[in-house]
Amino acid sequence: ILNVEQSPQSLHVQEGDSTNFTCSFPSSNFYALHWYRWETAKSPEALFVMTLNGDEKKKGRISATLNTKEGYSYLYIKGSQPEDSATYLCAFSSTTSGTYKYIFGTGTRLKVLA
Amino acid sequence: NAGVMQNPRHLVRRRGQEARLRCSPMKGHSHVYWYRQLPEEGLKFMVYLQKENIIDESGMPKERFSAEFPKEGPSILRIQQVVRGDSAAYFCASSPRAMNTEAFFGQGTRLTVV
């Protein structure tokens, strides 16, 4: 059974704090790891797609790393702002015999307090 | 370039009726994915389709649920004889090719069964 786990489930930080979340996924049949940001009442918005072990991606104050051998990815937010408040989802895609599976974690809910 | 369009945004059905949810992918995208978000839960994969083909339906309930992505027109998720437990937000996403690229999500259809 393919399972994607995210931790922590929720997080409150003060404005200006830096924070990070973890996404754990199966290390076999890896295809890609995706991070999404999901604000309330909106649809998930893609942040990063990573495919290679050791990948690091950055977008503004947000960055992500990938370790496919041990099956984890970290998302970092530097200097959190109230507008960063959202649920951060990771999704793991794998391929077996040409069939793709795309499994989401349940997300980390971030609340940044002003 | 319009984003992923889902309609209707809200759908109310009585128990036993049929629900039809539509998803028009972004222009040039031939891969469509349907997800369900039950209350207080994360996104759960339902089905992955390419034009005229179901690639992976491992997340679809065996009965009452079906999906299609015809050569022309939107992808349709059909739920027959709806029950209260089908009440959820249904999201679709599209990508230009298999899932090592960004997927773009629609705004979702919120189904309420009364």
Query: How confident is the prediction along chain A (114 residues), in pLDDT tens digits per residue?
Result: 568 899 999 999 999 999 999 999 988 888 899 999 998 878 889 999 999 999 999 999 999 999 999 999 999 999 999 999 999 999 988 877 666 677 888 899 999 999
What are the chain B neighbours of A51 within 8 Å (beta carbons)? 100
Which pLDDT value is given to residue B100? Answer: 66
Smallest Cα–Cα separation from B43: which of A38, A72, A13, A46? A38
* Average pLDDT over every residue of B34-62: 87
Q: Are the C-beta atoms of B30 and B51 separated by less than 8 Å?
A: yes
* Average pLDDT over every residue of B89-106: 84
Separation of first and last alpha carbons in chain B: 36
Which pLDDT value is given to residue A104? Answer: 85
Which pLDDT value is given to residue A29? Answer: 82
In the structure encoding, which two tokens stand for residue A37, read together? 């940001």
Stretch among A32-36, B11-15, B17-21 having the lowest mean pLDDT: A32-36
CB contact under 8 A, B99 and A44: no
What are the chain B neighbours of A107 within 8 Å (beta carbons)? 42
Distance from B9 to chain A by nearest Cα, in Å? 11
What are the chain B neighbours of A105 within 8 Å (beta carbons)? 42
* Average pLDDT over every residue of B65-85: 96
DSSP A84: G
Contacts of A98 (CB under 8 A, 6+ apart): none
Which pLDDT value is given to residue A98? Answer: 63
Which pLDDT value is given to residue A27? Answer: 83
Length of chain B: 114
Distance from B25 to chain A by nearest Cα, in Å? 14
Burial of B15 (0-12, 13-18, 19+ CB in 10 A): exposed
Q: How confident is the model at residue B60 (pLDDT cuts 50, 70, 90)?
A: very high
Q: Are the C-beta atoms of A31 and B100 separated by less than 8 Å?
A: yes
Q: Are the C-beta atoms of A112 and B49 separated by less than 8 Å?
A: no
Stretch among A2-11, A73-82, B61-70, B82-91 having the lowest mean pLDDT: A2-11
Using CB atoms, pick whichever of A32, A99, A102 lies closest to residue B33. A102
- B58 interfacial to chain A (CB closer than 8 Å): yes
- A59 interfacial to chain B (CB closer than 8 Å): no
Q: Are the C-beta atoms of B77 and B59 separated by less than 8 Å?
A: no
* Average pLDDT over every residue of B65-75: 94
Q: How confident is the model at residue B76 (pLDDT cuts 50, 70, 90)?
A: very high
Neighbours of B9 (CB within 10 A): 10
- B69 interfacial to chain A (CB closer than 8 Å): no
Q: How confident is the model at residue B51 (pLDDT cuts 50, 70, 90)?
A: confident
Distance from A109 to chain B by nearest Cα, in Å? 11
- A45 interfacial to chain B (CB closer than 8 Å): yes
Which pLDDT value is given to residue A61? Answer: 97
What are the chain B neighbours of A46 within 8 Å (beta carbons)? 102-104
Q: How confident is the model at residue B43 (pLDDT cuts 50, 70, 90)?
A: confident
Smallest Cα–Cα separation from A35: which of A43, A27, A23? A23
Rounded (5°) CA angle B100-A51-A70 = 130
User: Least CA distance to A39: which residue of chain B?
Assistant: B107
What rounded mean pLDDT belongs to chain B? 91
Q: Are the C-beta atoms of B32 and B15 separated by less than 8 Å?
A: no
Could you write out the three-class secondary structure of B12-77?
Answer: EECCCCCEEEEEECCCCCCEEEEEEECCCCCEEEEEEEECCEEEECCCCCCCCEEEECCCCCCEEE
User: Least CA distance to B90: which residue of chain A?
Assistant: A43
